[in-house]
Amino acid sequence: MMKLSTGDKVLQLFIYIILLLLGFVTLYPFWNSLVISFNMGSDTSLGGITFWPRVPTLDNYEVVFQDSRIGQAFMISIMRTLTGTILSVLFTAILAYGLSRHELIGRKFYMVFCIITMYFSGGLIPTFLLLREFGMMDTFWVLVIPGLISVYNMIIFRTFFLGLPAGLAESARIDGCNHIGVLIRIILPISGPVVATLSLFTAVYHWNDWFSASIYINDPSLIPIQTLLKQILNSNIVTDQLQSVGNAAAQDRLALVQSVTTKSLIMATTMVATLPIIMVYPFLQKYFVKGVLIGSLKE
């Protein structure tokens, strides 16, 4: 370690202070929302809730979990994230594997065909009308199918596949394995970090996307959690919601419901919608940093 001059030490101190502030500003909104979600709603509205709940309670969560719409939206989001991620990563990998094979005729043409779509697209309106003409509105699959193949992810996969030793696939082919078999039994298992990164990104996309459901889906039973949360944040649905919960729940719940406010309910719902991401993210962190780098090479 080199010795630091006084100027360097001042610089260091300055940097530590800025980074600490930055970290605080990044974490505080989470923490504050978490605290509000665990504080009694009627007490929160008196103000002054910052770092710690004043009247700790689980009432807000109880109301959230009793609301059948939130539970259903949560299930839709989970189903969408699972099917969307598995199918999308698999199909994207199949395409990437195909395009990484040297014996494929017209490889270059196919690549260009794919890459063009990264720069040009029909835009929102034609895509919307097309999906409508296909009769995909108000179906679960409209959330999964249009995004099935991601050209961007395909390029990352392909770059990685091209770096694998060619003999690997060849020997399996000689042993009588077909291409799909080679991909699933040999290539994907040794592509762990890439598969993990791209799965994480795809899953995060599916979990977080609220917009496509907001334009393609009207059926309340198919609305994912983020779209529902957006609706709750945006309108006065919350008051209805409180009432519907009040009606649906037993009479003795009524007192409980009254201590819950719009704000505390929104915060609890937000936390429910955030939780799955926060839970998987630390485990995958070391992978996605690598994934971003593979991706940025080709950007």
Partner 1 sequence: MVVPAMIFIFIFSYLPMYGVLMAFQDYQLFGGFLHSPWVGLKHFEAFFNSPDFWRVMRNTMVISLLKLCFGFPAPILLALMLNEVRSMMFKRVVQTVSYLPHFLSWVIVGGFVGSMLSTDNGSVNMLLMSLNLTSEPISFLSVPEYFWGILVGTGMWKEMGFAAIVYLAAIAGIDPHLYEAASIDGAGRFKQIQLITLPCIRPVIIIFMILAVGNILNAGFEDILILATNPILRDVSDVIDTYVYRMGILNNRFSYAAAAGLFKAVVSVTLLALANKAARKMGSSLW
Q: Is 33 in the site for partner 1 (CB under 8 A)?
A: yes
The CB-of-37 to partner 1 minimum distance in angstroms stands at 10
H helix intervals, the chain = 6-37, 41-44, 59-66, 68-100, 107-119, 124-133, 151-162, 166-174, 179-181, 188-190, 192-208, 211-216, 225-234, 237-248, 253-258, 262-297
Instruction: Determine which residue in the list 99, 172, 187, 245 makes contact with partner 1, applying CB under 8 A.
Output: 99
Q: Which stretch binds partner 1 (CB under 8 A): 64-72, 127-135, 164-172, 187-195?
A: 127-135
Regarding 120 and contact with partner 1 (CB under 8 A), the answer is yes
Distance of closest approach, residue 247 Cβ to partner 1, in angstroms: 26
Q: How many of the chain's residues bind partner 1 (CB under 8 A)?
A: 90
- Other C-beta atoms closer than 10 Å to the C-beta of 260 total 25
- Backbone φ and ψ for 259, nearest 5 degrees, come out as -80, -10
Which is nearer to partner 1, 57 or 212 (by Cβ)?
212
Q: Which stretch binds partner 1 (CB under 8 A): 55-63, 117-125, 188-196, 251-259?
A: 117-125
Cα 33-36-39 angle, rounded to 5 deg: 155
**Which of 146, 265, 164, 151 is CA-nearest to residue 211?**
146
Q: Which of 110, 152, 253, 259 binds partner 1 (CB under 8 A)?
A: 110
Residues 6+ apart with CB under 8 A from 154: 92, 95, 96, 99, 114
List the structure tokens of 177.
């394995």
Which residue stretch of 24-32, 52-60, 160-168, 250-258 sits at the interface with partner 1 (rule: CB under 8 A)? 24-32
Give whichever of 52 and 113 is closer to partner 1, judged by the CB atom.
Answer: 113
The binder of partner 1 chosen from 47, 135, 165, 176 (CB under 8 A): 47
Q: Whats the size of the chain, residue-wise?
A: 299
- Nearer Cβ to partner 1 (116/248): 116
User: Given candidates 103, 119, 135, 251, which one binds partner 1 under the rule CB under 8 A?
Assistant: 119
Structure tokens of 100?
């990484």
Q: Is 121 or 221 the residue whose CB approaches partner 1 more closely?
A: 121
Does 175 contact partner 1 by CB under 8 A?
no
Could you say which of 53, 146, 181, 246 contacts partner 1 (CB under 8 A)? 146
Instruction: Give Dmax (Cα) for the chain.
Output: 74
Q: Binding residue for partner 1 (CB under 8 A) from 42, 83, 159, 208?
A: 208
The phi, psi pair for 236, rounded to 5°, reads -95, 20
Burial class (CB in 10 A: 0-12, 13-18, 19+), 166: exposed
Residues 6+ apart with CB under 8 A from 155: 96, 115, 295, 298
What is the closest distance, in whole angstroms, from the C-beta atom of residue 259 to partner 1 in the complex? Answer: 16
Which residues in 227-266 contact partner 1 (CB under 8 A)? 227, 229-230, 233-234, 263, 266
Among 56, 126, 192, 220, the residue binding partner 1 under the rule CB under 8 A is 126
Stretch 64-93 residues interacting with partner 1 (CB under 8 A): 91
* C-beta separation of 88 from 150 below 8 A: yes
